[in-house]
Amino acid sequence: MSFATNKILLLFFCVLFLSSNAQNEFKTFTKSDGLTSSNILFTHVDTKGIIWATTSSGVNAFTGKKWVSIKSITDNDGRERILGKVLKVFETKNGELWIATEKGMFHYNRQYWTHYSDHENRDFHVVNIFEDHRGFIWVMIEKSNGIKDVGEVGFSIAEGRLQMFNGSQWFDFPGMIGGTAAVKVGEPLDYFTSIMQDTKENIWVTSLDGLYLYDGRSWTEFDREVLPTDKCYKVIETFDSVIWVATSSGIAKQDGDKWIKYEKVKGIKDNLTYDLIEDSKNRLWAFTRKDHKFKALCFYENDKWESCFNNDIHIKGEVSQLFEYNDKILAFSNKGISLFDEGKWNSLEVIYKFNDDNFSEIIKAKDNSFWFTTQTGLYHLNDNMKKEYSSTSKWKTNSLFEASNGDIWVGTDKNGVYKINESGSTNYTVSNGLKDNHINEIFEDSRKNIWIVTRNGISKFN
């Protein structure tokens, strides 16, 4: 064999080696690798380090060595139960798991499975699971196929029920809480809207039919007789143990046995209040909208309300999130970011003189700085602002994640995933082992491995 032939073969094997390396940046798992389905609906890394990935055909568990697919289980009575579509995985404070499926609730106490079926509510599905201080499990269920659209008359019907498991027995509360409510077409469709436990261990629930209090023995209902309206969207307890509730026609706070209503405040009047948040300065922030559009961001301080409209905040679009940053309030919208400091709002685009008002994802990093994406790149806000990555063409980002080592991962709609750090940026696509370039989720397991959920499988970064 000639020297020239040896060089050709050496070059061939080098190319083959590099190609093999490019294909092995990720280890991808799909249905053909044993998963119940390639389409992952929900993931959860539990306190034992096990990764749970749900699909329409069951659940999958990754223990660190391989995936175990679970389409059915044998319960403590020895009967086989089909999981079907898995909606949620919920881990309790003591490490036990509740898996909500279309076939009922499955409880795994780390030793055996127990299946709880509900034949009377087989047309309902689980929308929320909540654990109270006693370890009791509260489950909100709503009518499957949702809402009966009655477009001709201009409204839809939402229906929900509430259940509780005390460790040995299930309780249903028909007639006490739950039922049906009319919803204007285009408004939020969830019958139950929030649940929380206060410092006195009372359970509070909001729904489209009122506010409810459970003291451990009985229920008390608060409706339009004491509140601005029956349609309630959020209940919270502030630092001074005061209960506040947001409704579709105003805000109310509990004052002893009475309720004080705020219905005529500018920015709140005639608007739907859909969220309440308390900041570290004990200001209460309220998000309002009208005719399905963002209307105002209002805050309560020194016993009075102040209202901030789009022109005041200096951003367009709906304010979707609030953060605290360097003793300021940061408001995030898909059309801008603004900082609230000493009673004034300042647009980030104006402060740092950049022209990009299409925002998609934002995260608060471990060092309290912020990362966010626009159509043209990735930005880092930390004392000043720096564009860490410039996209060669407009990208659409679906997920943004900070790894434990400080790397920033960006998942896109059709360009795969990007890893960005001090060394630069790297783009990974199907050519590197991903099954699809559409990224749904990025997360890290207990062993510091990075996982990428795509449309057609789940991938572990090598």
The reported pLDDT for the residue numbered 5 is 35
**What gap in Å lies between CA 462 and CA 42, rounded to an integer?**
22
Average pLDDT over residues 2-20: 35
What does DSSP say about strands 304-308 and 51-55: parallel, antiparallel, or unpaired? unpaired
Both 378 and 401 in a single domain?
yes
- The HSE-up count of residue 178 (CA atoms within 13 Å, CB side) is 17
> Where is pLDDT greater, at 265 or 24?
265
- For 320-344, write each residue's pLDDT tens digit: 999 999 999 999 999 999 999 999 9
Both 341 and 386 in a single domain?
no
Both 399 and 321 in a single domain?
no
Q: Which position has the token pair 């259940």? A: 163
Both 363 and 340 in a single domain?
no
Q: How far is CA 70 from CA 63, 370, 445, in A?
A: 13, 39, 20
**Domain assignment of residue 216, yes or no:** no
Closest CA to 402 of 447, 449, 444, 460: 444
Give the amino acid at 19.
S
- For 126-153, write each residue's pLDDT tens digit: 999 999 999 999 999 998 664 555 556 6
Domain boundary among 348, 373, 406: 348
**Domain assignment of residue 386, yes or no:** yes
Both 365 and 337 in a single domain?
no
**Domain assignment of residue 343, yes or no:** yes
pTM, to two decimals: 0.90
Both 376 and 411 in a single domain?
yes
**Domain assignment of residue 395, yes or no:** yes
Number of compact structural domains in the chain? 2
| Residue 50 in this model has a pLDDT that exceeds 80 | yes
Q: Which domain holds residue 455?
A: 1-27+358-462
Domain boundary among 297, 321, 348: 348
Q: What is the CATH number of the domain that holds 394?
A: 2.130.10.10
**Domain assignment of residue 320, yes or no:** yes
Both 421 and 331 in a single domain?
no
| Residue 6 in this model has a pLDDT that exceeds 70 | no
Residue 240: partners with Cβ closer than 8 Å, 6 or more residues away: 282
Give residue 360's Cα distance to chain centre.
15
Residue 126 has a CB neighbour count (10 Å cut-off) of 20
Give me the sign of the Cα torsion angle 56, 57, 58, 61.
negative
**Domain assignment of residue 450, yes or no:** yes
By CB atoms closer than 10 A (0-12, 13-18, 19+), residue 188 is middle
**Domain assignment of residue 105, yes or no:** no
Both 410 and 440 in a single domain?
yes
Residue 20 — very low, low, confident or very high, per pLDDT cuts 50/70/90? very low
**Domain assignment of residue 196, yes or no:** no
